[in-house]
Structure 1
Amino acid sequence: MSAVQEQGEIFSVQKQGAYLQFTVVAPRIAAGFQPGHFVAVAVGGENTAMILRRAFALAGATPTGQFAGTIQFVVAEHGPGTRWLVQRRPGDVLDLVGPLGTPFPLPSGPSPAVLVGGGYGTAPLIPLAQALIAQGSPVEFVLGAATASRLSGEMTAKRLAGRVTVTTDDGSAGQKGLVTDALPEAIERINAEIVYACGPMAMLKAVGQVAQKKAIRAQVAVEESMACGIGVCMTCVLPVRGEDGRSRFVRSCVEGPVFEAGRVRWDDVGKLPADLVGADAMGGH
């Protein structure tokens, strides 16, 4: 299903530690949702100078049944755009475009999986866990953040999965340390065949390295700034190795945000590698 633009009324706003989870009535977006999709939200109101939308991973959608036609996404206040958004209240209307991006690829059959979330990066992993569990895959979560208030979705993850390991940089919740400290044990505990992750870029790089050492796949949803969300502005490009072995800039919002971790050239993010396809042409501009 193609992305649509929809005027969605805010149904509820719930506090989640340092974040807010929005539930918005958007039946056409909800109808096409798959785990890993995101939504682009216009911010600032009709007369604002903030013309660029803000992208948020979808934490779920209910196209049928109770609360039919709603979508959920988690917002962290970072700047003027998100500051305006967190001031919205139930009954207010948001201008939304979605569902956008490429969803998480699901295994063809039951496949033990570890889901790794950093901060509000847990949001898209919740519906992913539901989809994996529905097809018979054992699921375990490893959730991390800088401090306890920056964790997200811990209670929901515990209701879904048999085990949730929490880490915080300062030790204010769970065990002190990084998600990658707990990840190898989690992989071994359920004999995981795949790791899924969403969070800061440095975390995704480290998760990919752990998965590589364990000789299993890792699918990661990147948190790049996505100004347009539809592949036009080229602000969210990443250097990624293709199946032909050659590297190209690809758009996180269209070809992603989900990528195979081993294909992303993490050390070259934000750079123009000389061996990139087309680098010779781009270098002079």
Structure 2
Amino acid sequence: MSSINRFSSRMIATVVSNKRVGQYHQILLNVGEMVNTCKPGNFVAIRVGGDNAKMILRRAFAISRVSLTGPYGGSMELIVAPFGQGSKWLCAQAEGSEIDLIAPLGTAFGIPTEPVRALLVGGGYGSAPLFGLAEVLKNRGCRVDMYLGASTGGKIYAPMEGKRSVNVLKIYTEDGSMGERGRVTEPIAGLISEGLVDVIYSCGPMPMLRAISDIVAGSDVVHQCAVEESMACGVGICMTCVLPVTDADGNVSMKRSCIDGPVMNGANVAWELVGKIPEAHL
């Protein structure tokens, strides 16, 4: 494995809780001392389908948060949408089931050494990792505001939990069914112009991440985003999760989201080339 995953290990974890929360499942795994190496932005690769499954590759899931307290000891929380075959299998696992996983994987969000004004922007259930991040930032003395967005209110994950983690929580839905009507990215330009934001942490659909990067461009605000590319293996082998990234000299190369990400500097992603092959690689 890459040195970025030097703290990762494989283990058999036990499902201690599996609760339906709106359209999603909140799954709690007993992972023991593994929580000591997990950071906000890391993900886990899970072997899905059971021993007789045809799904050979593991599935990657963002780690929502970890905890050393509580009745289960070291626990890892996952927020899973039962959409694909692998995620449906995971959501169907009962308490006491055993899960084969590798964690922690990928790059984590950078945590400032001094207090800053942080804006956390989440789209749909992609916002789940931001709750654990908010707790870390608050413990560092940062002001933390969170903006959550989705097409409809049913896709906003645990809004009440967000209120407990941040200074200000705002919700935006495109159909106006919860919070304010509109896109979650709309107020960001005004916040930046008023000097109310130092760093933006984002997690959600790729169009949302690109929109934030476009808004931030030309300002002093740093944008750390957890990219949403499909990760078939999670450990840098299969090359299915590559993204075009620009280096300091302006050269574009394809980077693996699972190794060089999922957390990246939004300013470095060549968003206009996502889904395409850069000319340098033709």
Tell me if both proteins adopt one fold, taking TM over 0.5 as the criterion.
Answer: yes
Q: Percent identical across equivalent pairs?
A: 41
Asked if residue 14 in structure 1 is aligned to residue 19 in structure 2, the reply is: yes
CA contact (8 A) 2:253 2:278 kept: no
Q: Note if 1:102 corresponds to 2:115.
A: no
Task: Tell me the distance in 2 between the aligned counterparts of 1:212 and 1:16.
Answer: 36
1:184 offset after TM fit, Å? 3.2
* 1:179 counterpart SS class: coil
Q: In structure 1, how many angstroms separate the alpha carbons of the residues matched to 2:275 and 2:222?
A: 24
Q: Which residue in 2 is equivalent to 1:82?
A: 87
Cross-structure match for 2:67: 62
Query: Which residue of 1 is the match for residue 231 of structure 2?
Result: 226
Aligned positions of 1:254-273 closer than 5 A? 254-273=259-278
Distance 1:141 1:185, change over 3 A: farther
Cα pair distance change 1:15/1:250, threshold 3 Å:
same
Check conservation: 1:238, 1:264, Cα contact below 8 A.
yes
Q: How many residues are aligned here?
A: 277
- Give the letter aligned to residue 96 of structure 2: G
**Separation in 2 of the partners of 1:269 and 1:258?**
16
| Structure 2 CA distance for aligned equivalents of residues 196 and 105 of structure 1 | 9
Structure 1: how far apart are the matches of 2:70 and 2:21? 25
Name the CA distance, whole Å, in 2 between partners of 1:230 and 1:69.
23
In structure 2, what is the equivalent of residue 29 of structure 1? 34
Residue 72 of structure 1 corresponds to 77
* Shift in Å, 1:189: 6.9
Q: Where do residues 107-256 of structure 1 align in structure 2 (5 Å cutoff)?
A: 107-187=112-192, 191-212=196-217, 214-256=219-261
Per the TM alignment, residue 213 of structure 1 is displaced from its structure 2 partner at its CA by 5.2
Q: Deviations over 1:53-88 (max 9, x none)?
A: 111111111135653211001101222111111111
Conserved? CA contact 1:116–1:198, under 8 Å: yes
Answer yes or no: is the 8 Å Cα contact 2:192–2:221 preserved in 1.
Answer: no
What secondary structure is seen at the aligned counterpart in 2 of 1:46? coil
The 1-side partners of 2:42 and 2:108 are apart by: 5
CA distance in structure 1 between the aligned counterparts of 2:191 and 2:94, rounded to whole angstroms:
39
**Distance 1:125-1:215 versus aligned 2 partners, 3 A rule:** same
TM-score (norm 2): 0.94
Aligned-partner SS, 1:74: strand
Which deviates the most, 206-215 or 39-48? 206-215
Q: Return the alpha-carbon distance in structure 1 between the equivalents of residues 85 and 48 of structure 2.
A: 9
RMSD: 1.6
Task: Work out whether residues 142 and 182 of structure 1, in 8 Å CA contact, stay in contact via their aligned partners in 2.
Answer: no
Residue by residue over 1:146-198, the C-alpha shift from the partner in whole angstroms, topping out at 9 and shown as x without a partner, is 11111113212100112111011111101111111132345567711010000
> Unaligned 5+ residue runs, structure 1?
none
Q: CA deviation at 1:252?
A: 0.4
Amino acid in structure 1 at the alignment position of 2:268: R
Structure 2 residue runs without a partner (length 5+): 1-5
1 CA distance for matches of 2:239 and 2:7? Answer: 20
